[in-house]
Amino acid sequence: MDCAQSVSAFVQETRDKVSVINIKLQRLLDGYLDQIIEQDIYKVEKNKLVSQKKSLEENLITLEQTQTGWIEPMSK
């Protein structure tokens, strides 16, 4: 049960990180559209954030797919 709670906490933490990245992406876009941020800087920062977001989302998918598979044997 503790492992399941740990995984659930990790999943929630990862979702929170994705939400923060989404907010940062929106702020970055706003800064670019308001001409506060130059295009080159915008592209570099956007690529970094999108890469981080993709990595986190892949981790979430993996966790969600394997969560039931490895919790069941522990309960037996």
Q: Using pLDDT thresholds of 50, 70 and 90, give the confidence band for residue 27.
A: very high
pTM: 0.79
Q: SS in 3 state form for the chain?
A: CHHHHHHHHHHHHHHHHHHHHHHHHHHHHHHHHCCCCCHHHHHHHHHHHHHHHHHHHHHHHHHHHHHHHHHHHHHC
**What is the extent of the structural domain holding 23?**
13-66
Whether 75 maps to a domain, the answer reads no
How many independent structural domains does the chain possess? 1
Whether 38 maps to a domain, the answer reads yes
Tell me how far CA of residue 52 lies from CA of 1, 37, 46, 71, in angstroms.
Answer: 30, 20, 10, 27
Whether 30 maps to a domain, the answer reads yes
Q: What does the pLDDT look like over 6-25, one tens digit per residue? A: 888 888 999 999 999 999 99
Q: Using pLDDT thresholds of 50, 70 and 90, give the confidence band for residue 29.
A: very high
Whether 2 maps to a domain, the answer reads no
